Structures are given as C-alpha cells and as structure tokens.
Structure 1
Amino acid sequence: MTSPLPHPDHPAAPLSRRRFTHLAALTLTAGAGALPLATPASATTSAAQAYYDRARALAGDDQVLLTLVKALTPGAVVPRPPAPQPLLLFDNVAMLSVGWVSATAVLTDDGIVLIDALTSPEEAEGTVVAGLRTLGADPHTIKYIVVTHGHDDHYGGAQHLADHYGARILMTPADWNLTAHSDSPHAPTRDLDITDGQRLTLGATTIHLHHTPGHTPGTVSPIFPVHTGPHRHTAMLWGGTNPPPTPAELRTYLSSIHTFRTHMHQAGTDVELSNHPNDYGLQRAEQLRTDPHGPNPFILGAPRTQRYMRVMDLMLRGRLADAETTADDG
C-alpha cells in the first residue's frame, strides 16, 4: 500500500497558516491548558477530591495525562473539535476521524482490521472509505471491524462496511446484546463474538482483544503491534473511557484497569491510542503531520503508558468515592 500523506518516514511539511490555526483550534477545544480538578466542592467528597488531586499531581505537566484527567473529571463532556484529515500514525496504523470520535485502521499484508466504524453509513463512506483511499489503501480489503463497545458512535458505520465491502463485524456477546436493544437505525446484524483474550490474526499481524467492562458490559481494549520502518512498538487502545454511574459498575471498571495494566506490562506496551479526543490525541496527530521526522508523539514509552493507566485508576477511585457517597445519601 502506498502512503501519500506525511508520516514519520516522509519529508516534513511546513507549518502553514491553515495548519497552525487548525492545531490552535484543537488545543482550545480539547482543553490543553489549565484543567479543573473536579466539580465544585459541594458536589465532590473530600475522599474523592484526594484521589483527583493525586491524579493531577501524577500527571504533572504531561499534556496527554492532563487531558485524561480533564476527561475523567465529573461533569466533563466530550469535546467537538474539527475533523482532521486522515493520517498514518505508523506505517501500519491510520487514524480516520470526524473529530470527536475516531476509527483506527490496522493495515496488514493481508488486509485491514478496522477498530470502530464511526456513527453512520455516511461517515463510514465519507471518512473511513475516503480516508483509506487517500492514504493509498483499498477499503475492499477491510476484513474485520472490531467494535470496541456497543454505542452507536462506534458501530454506526459497521453494517454499511459489511454490506458494501465484505467486512466481518466483531463484538463481545454482552455488547451484541446491548446493541440489540438499541433504537439506533444503524445497529449491525449480529456477526462474530469476541472472547476475552482472543487473538485476531490477519496476515502477520495479531491483535489481542481484552475484555475490559466498565464503560459498557462488553467493552474491549486491543493491544497490537505497530511499526515505522524497522522500528517496532506495541500499542494499546482503551475501548471506552467515560465512567459509568453506579458503584458496582465503577468497581468493575477499576478491576478492568488493573487487569489491562497487567496485559500491557506483559506485552511491553509503549504506544497509547484512543477512539475519542480524551488523550491529546488529535493535537499529537497534528504534531506528527507537521513534523513527521520528529519523535512520534504517540510513543509514550512503557513507564508513561503505565502512568496513563495509573492516572485513570486514581480518577476512577475518585468517581467511586463520589458514587458511594451519593448511594449512601440516597
């Protein structure tokens, strides 16, 4: 597959006025500056605030971690930045995004595994299919669509891609059941089930699919190999970030974080990706587009990817403390 758009092995592009304005808009929209630590004191327990403060301290001045703190702060909303152009984050990984939600294409020597499918057939065609073609990839080679969880902003374009390009759709049984009760007109027809720890192999690429319930009962978080030239890395993509409301669900979420951190450590994960702009990901994509010869900003290193999950753990412990207090008061 050819790759006409800039990536780490291609010549650097100058920072045009349009690109500078776009990057500035992303920064402002996604909140890269000073971050609130939590909701007002009247809505947050002191126990919860202690966790939020520890998460903020652990984040330090790391914009990736600070953006995660903001995304997990009570009352946070998903930002709505402008849609970026498609981009190769690595030689074998493409970002196809409408701004507030993204799909990730893993390019193998035997076809494409698409992680998530955006919100609708129109976005599947206009963003996923068109984006792949822009990057020199053939959408007819999409073999599998891994839906990280059963919300329509992740499965909305899946059935269109299955019907028109022959892709098979994978989801956990729990989230197939969730989707079956959805009133979305784009809910896909049940196809393949994902089991915890399943290995999905296409060509020489194996993607490990880990069940990480919390955001939904069947959320899945993949770990997979990425590369630029001879340089090999291992990426993770946390399948669903927005915390659930009840103490029981939050405890499940925390358990998933703990288990997934172990999987990450065993795999040597050093790259972090996301399907929403809750990790400074769109800004990092623009940095990469602007300076493709510089350090790839998605390579955090193993210690920093573990710290990312530790920040998530602390924020979720704060959310649990708040939820338990609310439940007790009720």
Structure 2
Amino acid sequence: MRYGTGTALAAALLLGALPASAESDPDMSARHVEAAEAAAGQELAHVLGHCKKIGKSFTIPHDKGHEMLERLIGKGDLRSTAIFDNLVFLGTSWTTTWAIRTSDGIILIDALNNEDEAKRFIEGGLREVGLDPADIKKIVVSHAHGDHYGGAAYLKEKYGAEIIMSDTDWQELEKDELQFDDPLWGRPPKRDVSVSDGDTVTLGDTTITLLETPGHTPGTLSTIVPLTDDGTAHKAIIWGGNGLNFGPNAAQFVQMIESQRRLAAMAGEEGFDVFLSNHKTLDATYAKLDAMEAGSDGNPFVIGTGQVERAFTAMSHCVAAQLASFDPEAVPTH
C-alpha cells in the first residue's frame, strides 16, 4: 500500500509573538477559527489548541526551555491501560507511548523522553498489564524530537529492538545541530531502519502502515494500526506530530495543513474510527481512560470515521488561522 504525501515540546512551552506584519489578515484567521470550531463541535474541542492566541507562534525560549522541560517530565505518572485487545497506553501526563501487541511480540510507537522513563513507564507499564518488555521487537519513532526518541537507544541496546523512522527524519538527527536538544533527553539513536511514505511494518499477525505527514518535522510519521475490541475490528490513525514550534515558517505551516487535509480525506476511505496522538491532550486520552474506568457504554476511543475526519479538518483550519496571521497568501485554498 503506497500513498502520496509533533503536540511536542512546544505545546506546553511559552508562546513567542510573531513579528508584526502588514500581511496579517485577521478576517481570514477568524473565518478559519470559526470553521475549526464548527468542525470540532463540543465532542472534539480538545483538538482546537492551535486556534488559541492567533498571531503568535509556538517557540521555545532557550533560557527557559530546560526548566520547563524539567517540569513537564516531572509530571509523569504510571497509568498503563489496555484500551483495545491489542493496544496499550503507556504514556505519562505529557508524552505517550503506544504498545501494539502482536502474535510475535510488541511494536512500540515512540519511546518517551529518556532511559529512566523507558524503565518506569514502558517496561514498568508493560509489566503492569501482564506483558513482558523482552517481547519489544520494533520501535517506530514518530519524529526527530527527544520526547519521542529519548528512550529508544536504551530499549534497542537491552532488547535488540529495531528502531524505525522516516529517512527524512533520520537525516534530521544526523545534522551537526539538532532542532531541539536537552540533557534531559536520551541521546538520539543511530540510524537503523528507514521507511518512506506508505511503507508497512509487519510483526507476527499485525501489519501497520506508516505515512509521512510533514509539518511538525520534515519527516513526521503517522501510523495506521488495525485494532480489535472484544474481537470487533477497528482502525486507528495515530497522528505523529502537531506542535507549531518552528516559528513563522510558512512552508512548514502549509505542509501541516496539507498533511491534516490528507488524513481527513482518508478517514472515510480507509475507515479510521479511532483518533490517537503521541500527546494525551490532543486525543483526550485521560478523559477517555476516566470514562472507561467509570464503566462507559462502549469504548470511548472509538469515535467513528466522521469524527476522525472532523478532527483533522478542525486542526487544519486552526493551523491555517495561524498562518493567515503572518502570511495569508500562503494559506492553501484548494
């Protein structure tokens, strides 16, 4: 299967104002915010983060980034939960790892911030739900930021797991200077398995599909995962990176919008009825876990293809609203 063409650290860090620009179009921004809110409705209000504070871009102040990262990492707590027959949430209050259980071992989507988190939340979380960390065979890293690759090198060294990332983002990690770095993150893994848009990864009875959805980083991967819930089939799309933490770079904003529009269009075609993220705020993971624990009627993570399409549509309008605040001519109209 082939297809044509992060909320990462920036989602919780300080907002820096964009340069004042005569090109700002407040009316266009307002129209896109209105369209985003209409698409989201009350059920999906959690996807509207980028519609807030229009006219500012998420940036990381170098003098405060480490302190903020320290606080974010300190928010971790162990809340591992099997949310489908073959999918386990291993995330913290900030960053998420998803564990896909197959007939021949475990595929991880992302690896948290560092070795300590990998030990506590990935290894500990797997044991909490009765799985063996030694069964970790493959690690898909959604993009080249330390809060997603930080524990990968440790898990590879301990269990021999393959580390899989887009060739584009491997190149990002091989640059002399990383986009972001901090001593609180594990060191970037060495190049292992490279994939490109539409490639599949198979382990045992499970095949996942990796889509390059650039914007957050040049080679961000979003993942299609087949799931079952008490034997009933579902299909998840795990959005790979959502933060606008690259400043007023119109080309990357456009990439993000086009990636989101692409997945909105694919929702019905591919049957995506589960929307997941690698940060729990974007997909409301904790609220849904609370609902499950309270005995919800049905699996709250199954939202239907219509809501998945609306989620990506709403997000694309929010990004367009931000782009219109500094370069309205760049906002895609098709």
Cα deviation, 1:256-301, whole Å, max 9, x if unaligned, reads 122223333332110111111223222112221332x622111001
Residues 73 and 122 of structure 1: is their aligned pair in 2 closer, same or farther, counting only changes over 3 Å?
Answer: same
Match of 2:105 among 93, 106, 111: 111
Q: Contact (CA 8 Å) 1:70, 1:76: kept in 2 or not?
A: no
Match of 2:138 among 136, 141, 144: 144
Post-superposition shift, 1:319?
Answer: 1.6
Post-superposition shift, 1:76?
Answer: 8.8
State percent identity of aligned pairs: 35
Does 2:61 align with 1:67?
Answer: no
SS in 2 for 1:232: strand
SS in 1 for 2:327: helix
Question: Root-mean-square deviation (CA), in Å?
Answer: 2.6
Residue aligning to 1:241: 242
Looking at structure 2, the residues matched to 49 and 192 of structure 1 have their Cα atoms a distance apart, in angstroms, of: 43
Cα deviation, 1:226-248, whole Å, max 9, x if unaligned, reads 11222110001110011243111
AA at the equivalent of 1:61 = Q
AA at the equivalent of 2:262 = T
Looking at structure 2, the residues matched to 55 and 44 of structure 1 have their Cα atoms a distance apart, in angstroms, of: 17
Match of 1:285 among 270, 286, 289: 289
Residues 305 and 49 of structure 1: is their aligned pair in 2 closer, same or farther, counting only changes over 3 Å?
Answer: same
Stretches of structure 2 lacking an aligned partner (at least 5 in a row): 1-10, 12-17, 59-67
Q: Contact (CA 8 Å) 2:201, 2:209: kept in 1 or not?
A: yes
Report matched runs for 1:189-200 at 5 Å.
189-200=190-201
SS in 2 for 1:224: strand
Residue aligning to 1:269: 272
Report matched runs for 1:115-264 at 5 Å.
115-181=109-175, 182=178, 183=181, 185-243=186-244, 244=246, 245-264=248-267
AA at the equivalent of 2:273 = D
Cα deviation, 1:134-167, whole Å, max 9, x if unaligned, reads 1111111111100000000000000000000111
Residues 314 and 71 of structure 1: is their aligned pair in 2 closer, same or farther, counting only changes over 3 Å?
Answer: closer
AA at the equivalent of 2:36 = A
Choose between structure 1 and 2 for higher RCO, CA contacts under 8 A separated by at least 6 residues. Answer: 2
Post-superposition shift, 1:58?
Answer: 2.5
Post-superposition shift, 1:97?
Answer: 1.1
Bigger shift: residues 244-253 or 308-317: 244-253
Bigger shift: residues 256-265 or 216-225: 256-265
Stretches of structure 1 lacking an aligned partner (at least 5 in a row): 1-29, 31-38
AA at the equivalent of 2:31 = A
Match of 2:319 among 309, 316, 320: 316
TM-score by length of 2: 0.79
Cα deviation, 1:108-158, whole Å, max 9, x if unaligned, reads 011111000000011011110110011111111111100000000000000
SS in 1 for 2:48: helix
SS in 2 for 1:278: helix
Report matched runs for 1:24-103 at 5 Å.
45-62=26-43, 65-74=44-53, 83-103=77-97
Looking at structure 2, the residues matched to 289 and 232 of structure 1 have their Cα atoms a distance apart, in angstroms, of: 22
Match of 1:307 among 307, 310, 318: 310
Runs of 4+ aligned residues of structure 1 deviating over 4 Å after TM superposition are: 75-82
SS in 2 for 1:283: helix
Looking at structure 2, the residues matched to 97 and 235 of structure 1 have their Cα atoms a distance apart, in angstroms, of: 17
Looking at structure 1, the residues matched to 197 and 313 of structure 2 have their Cα atoms a distance apart, in angstroms, of: 22
SS in 2 for 1:102: coil
Residues 128 and 205 of structure 1: is their aligned pair in 2 closer, same or farther, counting only changes over 3 Å?
Answer: same
Q: How many residues are matched?
A: 286
